[in-house]
Amino acid sequence: MGKREELVSKLRGTPEGLPSVEEVRAMLASDPELKCVVCYARISFDGRVKDAHGVEDQHRDMTETARRFGWLVVYRYTDNDKSASKENIVRDDFEQLLADLAAGTTPDGYPIHGVMAVNDDRLYRRPSDWERYLKAFTTQEGRVYHDSNGIQDLYAEGFEIKGLLGVAMSLSETRKKERRSRNSHRSRAIRGQSVAAWRPFGWEDDKVSLRPDEAEAIRQAVKDVIAGASISEITRRWKEAGFITSRGNAFQYQTVKQVLVNARLCGYREIKGELVRDGDDQPIVGEWEPIITPKEWFAVTAKIRERGRGTGMPRGGLVHKYLLTGILRCGHVLEDGTVCNNKMIGIKANDWLKYRHAYMCKKTVDGGCNKTYKRGDKTDKAIEELVIAKLERDAASKAQDVPDWDKADALERAVRSRNELERRWHDDEDTDIDDETFFRNLPVLERRIKELRADQRAHEALKAEAEEAKEDVRNAWGSKTLTQKREAIKKVLSAVIAVPGGKGNKTFDPELLKPVWRTSE
């Protein structure tokens, strides 16, 4: 448990040193004026330090106020780093407070005579939460409520409406702030200014100049992912190199993916998945130094989203230790004349052998025949040579310039039509474009623009792949990771049939490996 979590844990539940429930009840019997109160603290954003100082300060202030009133704090509820204005956020301690108010006691059995909060907006910011809180609070008579306005009488006539008005004003102010923040964010993006709150990985603290080692790691990762490397491999590599996120955390799959698909890498800006564009529909270039080219960014994002079936999420495939596991198939002929054809598995070779791994057909209990065994190193080398030769032939035919995208004019017309539609709709003197006409035609144009831009991104990715094909295939093969090599092999081979060599210790024969090439689609 981290320091923050440990502190928040201490700020929850029954305070240390509190008398037992029986002792408190005896105190209440001797002093009917004594109040047992609970304190609720919440903060939406715990700040960059993430040390829970906000909720700690709130509880300290409430404890001091309770002491001045002669009240006894019997329980503390704490929702740290949680918004009260967003519907999808569940505040666990707030829900526990409502349940305890309805029950009349804390989870440890102490009676609840009142609630304290530094401000009412710590408890609620939405009308539904206010109504739920008021209902739970008033299930028993005589309770007290204290916030920055002093002691409030929640039982008073008209207080429910007063509370709703306060909530409405608070909600309105929250939405104004969100709207101003969005507008400010977009305005700075349009001006090409950095809007990152934290230092982006790859850049210095000024968010403009590059941090050489991180930028080079990103360049290499982009190149490798385009060539077939998995994000899991990149994550492992960055961890081994000692890289951490700008917030000081270890890289995980999701954070690495977020770095690689960020348009900032090529100097562009995105808002909610859409590139920010100028009046001529061109992507706005930021004031920071780019790490890769737009062409490379289009290619890497297309590759990542393609693997996650459009989502960019990992598919959860196995990470293999051996090159040809699942690609080799057993070619042993069974007694009924059929071929076994089971996928062969990679295994660690015995220590006394000169090679480190081998491939074998599964045991009969696992569905195989256990009749075919191949030496791993020489099998790998033989198949790699076949694949490299195939890739070299393909590269020779691929390494021609991809023609320019032929739908640029169509995209320009669609954007121009949308802009003209919007201009005429805003023009009070143009009576031909009413609201119904505008909202009927706008989605059609927006959908057309989105489709064309998706096609443009796919074309850019194709150009990037064509340029990769121009590189020296044999030299590039040596720098590929195991996953990249497997992906390259599976692109050109459907399988490799491994025919057993017969009984006895025989010399390795590559002719007993029968490649099954994929046909061009």
Query: How many independent structural domains does the chain possess?
Result: 4
Say yes or no to pLDDT of 175 above 70: no
Nearest to 513 by CA among 369, 364, 381: 381
**pTM as predicted:** 0.43
Indicate whether 427 belongs to any domain. Answer: yes
Say yes or no to pLDDT of 309 above 70: no
Nearest to 294 by CA among 463, 470, 423, 118: 463
Mean pLDDT in residue range 472-493: 83
Looking at the structure, tell me whether residues 338 and 286 fall in a common domain: no
Whether residue 73 contacts residue 15, with contact meaning beta carbons closer than 8 Å, is answered with yes
Say yes or no to pLDDT of 282 above 80: no
Say yes or no to pLDDT of 423 above 70: yes
Mean pLDDT in residue range 198-202: 88
Indicate whether 488 belongs to any domain. Answer: yes
The separation between the first and the last C-alpha atoms of the chain, rounded to the nearest angstrom, is 54
Indicate whether 75 belongs to any domain. Answer: yes
Whether residue 36 contacts residue 71, with contact meaning beta carbons closer than 8 Å, is answered with yes
Say yes or no to pLDDT of 67 above 50: yes
- Give the pLDDT of residue 183: 54
Mean pLDDT for the chain overall: 82
Looking at the structure, tell me whether residues 84 and 13 fall in a common domain: yes
Mean pLDDT in residue range 264-279: 76
Burial of 28 (0-12, 13-18, 19+ CB in 10 A): middle
Mean pLDDT in residue range 168-184: 56
3-state secondary structure of 1: coil
Whether residue 1 contacts residue 25, with contact meaning beta carbons closer than 8 Å, is answered with no
Give tens-digit pLDDT for 131-169.
889 889 999 999 999 998 899 888 887 766 665 566 556
Say yes or no to pLDDT of 281 above 90: no
Q: How far apart are CA 150 and CA 119, in angstroms?
A: 10
Say yes or no to pLDDT of 190 above 70: no
Say yes or no to pLDDT of 420 above 80: yes
Looking at the structure, tell me whether residues 512 and 432 fall in a common domain: no
Give tens-digit pLDDT for 16-38.
999 999 999 999 999 989 999 99
Which of 142, 170, 198 finishes a domain? 170
pLDDT level of residue 291 (50, 70, 90 thresholds) = very high
Looking at the structure, tell me whether residues 157 and 285 fall in a common domain: no
Nearest to 95 by CA among 40, 146, 143: 40
Q: Which domain holds residue 126?
A: 3-170
